[in-house]
Structure 1
Amino acid sequence: MNTPAAGHRGGRSSSPPPDESLQSASTLRVDGIDSPSSPTGKHLTVLDWDGPNDPGNPYNWSIQRKWIVTGAALVGTFLVPLNGTSITIAAQAINQEFNVHDHPNFSNSYWPITSWSLGGALFIIVFLPLMEDIGVRIGYLIFYSFFLLMIIPQALAHNFATLVVTRFLSGGCVALLANTISSIIPDIWGDDKSRSLPVSLYIVLYMTGSTLGPVMFGGVMQHIGNWRWIFYIQLIIYAAFLPFFYLLISETRGGVILKRRAKQIRKSTRGKVYTQAELDAAPLHLRLLKSMTRPAYLLGTEPVLFASTCWSAFSFGTVFLFTQSVEQVFTGLYGWEEYSTGYVQGAVVIGEVLGFLATLYGSQLYLKSAARNTESPGQPIPEARLYVSVFASFLGIVGGMFVYAWTSYPWLPWIAPAVGLAMVGFGIQVVVSAVADYITDAYAESGYAGSAVSAVAAGENAVAAFLPLAAESMYTTLGYHWASSLLGFLALLLSFAPVVFIWKGRQLRARSPFMQGDVEETKQDGGDER
């Protein structure tokens, strides 16, 4: 999952537009430009915004229009992840129809969810640069339409392999859609204060959408009994919202808007009018190569990014692990039906909603930290993003795991382990949000926020793919108590990461060339910040 990072910044022009009847942007006359990736020659015109109040700049849209576009995007944030976990409540029915066998130490029925998460990890790294060229609106509609088409073979699948392959593709689309949505927020909200609420809503809706699948579709197996209706219903919902997104999601990427203006002027006047981004852009194949290699390189060379990714990925992966462990625990302890175990995961959602309220408080602490920042006076301290997450990680994830573990007795009411699930949900929401914001802030100055956040998002999807595969073996071999306790101890170890960052964050950032922008690549191409 990506979080909204720094958006485009509209420049201010120093000369009036050559033809105000064609566009409302300003232009700069530049002689003798010679760029390997752009047209050459004299009298080349660079197109920019028509001053700071250009109405075409998304930062200058009305508050009403901003919230309409943001609201439409947030609806999509909630809807598309439902496809990921909803299938888990039909595992037994799918196994029976396709003759798939779960073993005591391995759950083969989880492969359709593993492939879904792996698709997300791959697509977000490989195809993300395309969004820079085609724009938010077109990119969203293309991948949403393809995602919608991939629901059809999931509903009509005649074999297990079809489910695995098509869900790999749909999971990849969901990751790209989530990233597209996350870029809309910084594209139209210009400062940390105005972005705080949209960003918090984005993350909580993505998390609850990922968690609510079994809760929302448990009734299909209870009352209809045919797992294919999970996808039939999704097909109806997603198809119904296609016109909604088509009408309400506008293009928000400033560079794309300017590029289209320049293209229109070139077509109308045959003049050499280009945006600065067009002149500076590297060939697409080089950007694709960079997008695939840079996040991995950062992950292997940046200790802060590596630790943050492990912490956030474990937290996010726990959402998917619960789709397996909750079924084992509540079926084994209370004899519940498979669909009933889907309902109890609503406790995680309750915790996530409470975590959302905590993130709003955390945003206020972050903004107030600017008053005591001696490193960059007037700017919030990046590590202030982590204050609430320390409490949430130790009490929420660690404490919740141990409550979930040691209330798993048949003579205790089911609400007791459900409270543990809610505590973990609270911690997950705060941790994932805090890590995404912290990494964005820490790398934004150097321009490497995009690659750093992509590394975190890929790590989250990879752990979400593979961590639940160990659930069957853990809970069978170790038992309910010690399997969840093992997860609690892992969470305890990872929870010290934010403590170290808050304690030594300034020194750690000073030692990182990628956070400081001291690497040669930054000087040459300006990093990868949108």
Structure 2
Amino acid sequence: MSSEIGAYLFRRFDSASLQEISNITESQGTSTLDQKVELPRAASENDEFEVRFGGKEDRENPRNFPTTKKWIIMVIISFKSACDSAIYTATYQQITNELYCSELMATVGLSTFILDMGIAPLSLSPLSEFYGRRPIYLLSLSLGLLWLLTCALASNIQILIIARFLSVAGANAGDLFSPSQLQLPMTIYSGIQFMGPEMGPIAGGFINYYASWKWTFYFMMIWTGTGLVATMFFVPETYRPVILRHRAERLKKEMGDERYLGADLAPTDPVLKTVLWSFFRPLQMLVLEPMCLNLCLHSAVLLGILYLFFGAFPLVFTTNHGFNLWQVGLTFLGVAIGILGGVATTPHWQRHYLLSMKKGQRTGSVDGEVEPECRLPQVMAGAVLVPVGLFFFGFMTFSSVHGIAPIIASGVFGMGVFLSFSGTWMFLVDAYPLYAASALAANSFARSAFGAAFPLFGIQMYEKLGYDWATALLAFITLAMAPFPYIFFEYGKRLRGRSRFAQAN
């Protein structure tokens, strides 16, 4: 979510670290990794001019950064755009009164932001491979500040909607940890990105209860500005090919020899071609890959429901329980705690995966290889928890029932959402190893499309069907999609055998 959340995890891998991608949990863009893989080549007379990292003592290699520095970078990257999407939902009442628009028009400001979270990274990610992570961070955050100021000063809803669409700031994480170290930082990164949308309404509830809606955007400006300053001082360039290219350029000047060249993989196609391809490949996978399509649709529906709740919660808790704005914001703690519960189960699923790997080694499979379907049990668990949480929430939405009951139900839903998302991402990475970035970009695009659409009809649906049956309808939709992880667990290997993308490994 963030999507959101920035473009991020993918870069060119050398042959020793290609499997590292299997531990990455979210994507907001594609990579030249999808486009070609260079095979090992014979040594040549030019090898002495190939600039490489110099082992564990090379302090310019991001993998060799001190652990504290790595975690500082991870925290800055993770937090700088975590709550921007959902904090806006607390402004609806003031915006409709001051800008003379309907609540539906105000909701469009949320939808355009979510949609842009799925589109912008498709160009930001490949651009970061040409120019590096750091320039993209600084540019996107600076532009984000500009458009947030435009939102705060908007005199009509049209300006506000356009500025919201343009205010997405890209975010990258990665390049810092070896494969054996990557599980924990990526779990924390994805957990923060999931927690962000839940923290937004909590902060927004207090801000908009005690101050003008403009302070919501001033707060986001302070948040983004702090991230920009922290990035300027504490986040160096972390993309390995760009670092080596800069080192090669220094050597050319110092040695007066133009033959020095960065040895790590880097994009070779023109920028425009790379960006256009980053849009095309994810759509191609959605159309041609049934497993990718159905799992992406499942994730998309879940994110759509999550963002729909940003409009439904104020209706339910204000009407049934008389909550004010900041109290409504606190009700999102249920979903947040559920997501934390999902994060806490990560060691269990990792142990399950490692046991499957050991079993593969004992049975003599190639290199102890684990089938990608071994990532699906947590998706299967999430597919059960989501409809259970929704049914529980739907039929607890009565004034005669204590408000804590639907909040607990939302926690069950939140845990199911996190398990479904994280398991789906890992499966897509394992199932399409050479096209992992595109598979995750397809997932991100589908999620953002649904996340943008669902809030536009959520309030009307809850008012027409009633709070109980509107939520039950969502539960039935997720129940209908629940069998897909089980089907792919059973027949996924057979389907992958007929897939040109899965077979490209």
Deviations 1:85-134 (A, max 9, x none): 112112111001111124xxxx2220100110111122122332101111
Amino acid of the structure 2 residue aligned with 1:49: F
What is the match of residue 132 of structure 2?
Answer: 135
Q: Is 1:393 matched up with 2:383?
A: yes
After superposition, the Cα gap between the structure-2 partners of 1:485 and 1:279, relative to the gap in structure 1 and judged at 3 Å, is closer
Alignment of 1:161-240 (within 5 A): 161-171=158-168, 173=169, 176-177=170-171, 180-181=172-173, 184=174, 187-191=175-179, 193-224=180-211, 226-240=212-226
Q: One-letter code of the match for 1:71?
A: V
Partner in structure 1 of residue 338 of structure 2? 351
**Contact 1:3-1:453 within 8 A present in 2 as well:** no
TM-score after normalising by structure 1: 0.83
Deviation at 1:484, TM superposition (A): 0.6
For 2:397, the equivalent position in structure 1 comes to 408
1:55 deviates by 4.3
SS at match of 2:261: strand
Are the equivalent residues in 1 in contact too, given 2:12–2:265 (CA < 8 A)?
no
Please identify, of 42-51 and 213-222, the stretch whose mean Cα deviation from structure 2 is larger: 42-51
Deviation at 1:303, TM superposition (A): 0.8
User: Can you give the 5+ residue segments of structure 2 that lack an aligned partner in the other structure?
Assistant: 17-41
Which of residues 267, 292, 297 in structure 1 aligns to 2:284? 297
Cα gap change, 1:259 to 1:469, in 2 (>3 Å): same
Q: 1:318 to 1:56 in 2, by over 3 A?
A: same
2:501 equivalent among 510, 514, 529: 514
Q: Say whether residues 1:473 and 2:460 are aligned partners.
A: yes
Aligned-residue RMSD, C-alpha: 2.5
> Quick one: distance in 1 between partners of 2:342 and 2:145?
31
Pair 1:275–1:121, CA change in 2 (3 A) = same
Instruction: Map Cα deviations across residues 257-289 of structure 1 (whole Å, 9 max, x no partner).
Output: 111112222333242222356786111111111
How far residue 71 of structure 1 moved from its aligned partner, in angstroms, is 3.1
Match of 2:53 in 1: 49
- Is 1:261 aligned with 2:239? no
Alignment partner, residue 487 of structure 1: 474
Q: Does residue 109 of structure 1 match 2:102?
A: no
Whether 1:437 and 2:426 are equivalent positions in the alignment is yes
- Length-normalised TM-score, structure 2: 0.87
SS of the residue corresponding to residue 99 of structure 1 reads: coil
Q: 1:238 to 1:503 in 2, by over 3 A?
A: same
Quick one: which of 75, 99, 115 aligns to 1:71? 75
* Secondary structure of the structure 1 residue equivalent to 2:296: helix
* Partner Cα distance (1:279, 1:119) in 2: 27
Q: Is the contact between residue 379 and residue 423 of structure 2 (CA under 8 Å) also seen in structure 1?
A: yes
Q: Deviations over 1:436-470 (max 9, x none)?
A: 122112212xx211111111111111111001112
Cα distance between partner residues in 2 of 1:500 and 1:124: 31
**1:54 to partner: Cα distance:** 4.5
Q: What do the CA deviations read for 1:335-382 (whole angstroms, capped 9, x no partner)?
A: 333443222112111111111112332222222221123654324432
Cα distance change, pair 388–506 in 1 and its aligned pair in 2 (3 A) = same
Name the counterpart of 1:60: 64
Q: Which runs of 5+ in 1 are unaligned?
A: 13-27, 32-41, 519-530
Percent identity between matched residues is 27
Equivalent residue of 1:377, what SS?
helix
Partner of 1:24 in structure 2? none
Larger deviation: 239-248 or 416-425? 239-248
Do structure 1's residue 378 and structure 2's residue 368 form an aligned pair? yes
Instruction: Give yes or no for the alignment of 1:287 onto 2:274.
Output: yes
CA apart distance, 1:245:
2.1
Residue in 2 aligned with 1:83?
Answer: 84
Q: Deviations over 1:170-207 (max 9, x none)?
A: 13x2xx21xx12xx1xx22221x421111111111001
Q: Note if contact 1:58-1:252 (Cα within 8 Å) is conserved in structure 2.
A: yes
1:189 aligned partner, one-letter code: F
Q: Is the 8 A contact 1:81 1:209 kept in 2?
A: yes
C-alpha distance in 1, partners of 2:70/2:226?
Answer: 23
Q: Please give the alpha-carbon distance, in whole angstroms, between the structure 1 residues aligned to 2:395 and 2:266.
A: 61
For 2:502 and 2:263, the matched residues in 1 are separated by 25
Shift of residue 428 of structure 1?
1.1
Aligned residues: 473
| SS of corresponding position for 2:407 | helix
Instruction: Give the Cα–Cα distance (whole angstroms) in 2 for the partners of residues 29 and 371 of structure 1.
Output: 36
1:127 partner SS: helix
Distance 2:266 2:134 in 1: 23
User: Residue 404 of structure 1 contacts residue 421 of structure 1 at CA under 8 Å; is this kept in 2?
Assistant: yes
State the 1:250 CA deviation: 2.2
Q: 2:376–2:427: 8 Å Cα contact kept in structure 1?
A: yes
The 1:331/1:514 distance shift into structure 2, 3 A limit, reads same
Cα pair 1:117 1:465 within 8 Å, conserved? yes
**Aligned partners of 1:43 and 1:67: how far apart in 2?**
34
- Contact 2:397 / 2:406 at 8 angstroms: preserved in 1? yes
1:448 to 428, 435, 439: 435
